[in-house]
Structure 1
């Protein structure tokens, strides 16, 4: 059989065994996704499904299951190592939990810098400072920068 994205992630026997683990409510059946848009349709379907407890996963687990399928396939092809479907499901859950916990770690804001800068005596000197931020709730990001001349005046 031709190894296509839908076949690898949805329809091969191994993938079907992984998906049969009932990770979603309502139950996810990959056989419901068979046309040319099967993979994107499955992704959209799972995004609106509920990840069943007690997994403790706050986000969509679909990408993690796909990653687990991909890595299991590569281990089989390149290392001749078979990963059980149950191990793939466990690995997907573990990866999703690890990702979620890494996203919730917050660091304290940087301390304001109120020190005088030692600026070399040069005819043309520009200092630039930049920062960026991401807001999880709205999935938006912003970037800002400010440039000073050697006298410390804002030039842009």
Structure 2
């Protein structure tokens, strides 16, 4: 903290986050300089500042050092009890997870739908060596948000239904074994333009949960990504697409 304090700009006329982000600005300027020297790739000033602000926000939030006015809203349960279609230009990515304690295997899934409730993509995979429900859920969140980045998507509403993962994300310092996993989740979510992350009730996340459950219940451990939704969930997906 003493080192951080020395590097923080003290000029009060500069915005709080900008002052706190000063070490990250220096770091990304140095990285941009090296990239130009060794790869002949020039980074824009906007790109440097944006990346610095994103990483500073994540780290300071995890350390509990972010000013109250700049802190993201806590991840809490919503009021809805059924899946709702996203609005405007947004897509909705529901993320599911399951965990089998005896085998230490977990299932993870994500399913992306548009404003008409049409499934664009879905995916499933398994993880081994998983020690808890929170571990399983954080793995699923990190993997799913990385997949969305790989698909070059934006305007994403991420939803999940694990209270255990929400507890860790809201208070990462109190969950030291999951600290870096929380960092990865926040970093991935922030990297998707115009994204948000929300905890929802189990009834709002049925499709993703069912796909994840198929890993631990039916031992379907093969990973895949597919366009559209799984046929065996067609009734549920049609019913949810009809909701307002």
- Is TM more than 0.5 here? no
Interval of TM-score (by shorter of Structure 1 and Structure 2): 0.3 to 0.5
Report which of the two structures shows the higher radius of gyration computed on alpha carbons.
1
Normalised by the size of structure 2, how large is the TM-score?
0.23
Normalised by the size of structure 1, how large is the TM-score?
0.34
**Highest relative contact order (Cα 8 Å, sep 6+), 1 or 2?**
2
